[in-house]
Amino acid sequence: MTHQPRRFVGLATSLGTSFATGLATGLALLAAISAAPPAHAQADYPAKSVRIIIGTPPGDSADANARSLATQLARQTGQPFFVDNKPGAHGIIAAESAKNAAPDGYTLLLSTGGPMAINPSLYKKLPYAPLKSFEPVVPLSTGPLYLVVNNELPVKNLKELVAYAKARPGKMSYGSGGSGTTQHLAMETLKKSMGLDILHVPYKGSPAVLQDLIGGQIQLAFDAGASILPQIRNGKVRLIGVASDARSPLTPDMPTLTEQGVPAFRAVVWSGLFVPAGTPAPVVARLNALVNQALRDPAFAAQMRAQGGEPAGGGSAEFRTFLEAEIGRWAKAVADSGATID
């Protein structure tokens, strides 16, 4: 919600008002005027370098998106944008660092659904509250999870996979990038929907999952497009279904899991830009406009698609509404999975 700067309208006084009361009222109004962001804040922003904090190490898909965005925004504004990697603790380190930064628009947080939508239900003590500690600025990218299996598994669709797994309860295993990740919770939701007994094997990130999936140490996994699509195209793993409302434009011939019989199954990974709570509304609006402008650039959009995500964009208010819905969606998945981290 955009707040317009308050305008000075004078001190309300009357003959019956004491000097002290009038002075106090005047000082309160002047304080309110001083606290309001200046009208030129949006036009002048940014006037210096801007830091983009992310919670992943250099080289992964989120880092690639952040660096592409930084380059694009620097081109549009003439000011440096740089990426500050703060990996670890399911994105908590990065989020807490951004939360504690000055709310002036010069420290941004590029985060994903894990830290912002899953962590509130996963952690009993979280040092930030996504909807209170931050102001959502704009969604950057979105994309479904893809369900894949080892090539040696004699299944080609979800029906065959379910039948195969039910004939071998407790004997199959799947991998994820760790307990409480989107991939883990998506698989637990699928297991519950289809009545499957499959062992969870947590790893430290997608590369290790894919290595063991290709090698046959685990039989199936969910993963995001940036990690899994190259392996699918190279024939290293077999795609079984897509966890989205509609078919992915990147795999248009592959039915969604809902089409294959899982009721309203949706597991989407997304990224978005946030600023610390209290950042002036004109600065938030300026950032939103800059990122939406970037996403309309054909070359930048193509770059994002090559990294496995579909360009998103939109308004800040709509992004907040989306985040509220995601927090509720994943709260149920966390409860169903029984996952919790102290």
DSSP string, 155-194: -SSHHHHHHHHHTSTTT-EEEESSTTSHHHHHHHHHHHHH
Same domain, 87 and 51: yes
Those residues with Cβ within 8 angstroms of residue 23's Cβ, 6 or more apart along the chain or in another chain: none
* Domain final residue, candidates 191, 225, 242: 242
In this prediction, residue 89 carries a pLDDT of 86
Quick: pLDDT tens for 284-296.
Answer: 999 999 999 999 9
Q: Is 3 among the domain residues? A: no
Residue 274 lies in a domain: yes
| Between 48 and 182, the higher pLDDT residue | 48
Of 41-45, 112-116, 146-150, 310-314, where does mean pLDDT reach its minimum?
A: 41-45
Joined tokens for residue 300? 């930048």
Confidence bin at 238 (pLDDT 50/70/90): very high
**Mean per-residue pLDDT, 100-125:** 94
Out of 39-48, 88-97, 325-334, the most confident range is 88-97
**Confidence (pLDDT) at 250:** 86
- Mean predicted lDDT score pLDDT of the chain: 86
The most confident of the ranges 71-80, 120-129, 185-194 is 71-80
Residues 6+ apart with CB under 8 A from 56: 62, 63, 85, 87, 91
Can you give the pLDDT at residue 239? 97
Q: How many H helices and E strands in the chain?
A: 14, 10
Residues 158 and 183 in one domain: yes
Same domain for 274 and 135, yes or no, is: yes
Look up the domain containing 315 and give its range: 41-142+269-337
In a domain, 122, yes or no: yes
Q: Evaluate whether residue 260 is within a structural domain.
A: no
Cβ contact 224:209 at 8 Å: no
| Structural domain total, the chain | 2
CA distance 241 to 256: 5
Position 29 pLDDT exceeds 70: no
| Residues 123, 56 within the same domain | yes
Q: Tell me whether residue 25 is in a domain.
A: no
User: What pLDDT sits at residue 43?
Assistant: 65
| Residue 261 located in a structural domain | no
- Are 92 and 156 contained in the same domain? no
pLDDT of 266: 87
Assigned domain for 189 exists: yes
- Residue 60 in tokens: 């992964």
Q: Are 173 and 212 in contact (CB under 8 A)?
A: no
Q: What is the CATH number of the domain that holds 179?
A: 3.40.190.10
Average pLDDT over residues 248-259: 93
Q: Do 212 and 76 belong together in one domain? A: no
Same domain, 125 and 171: no
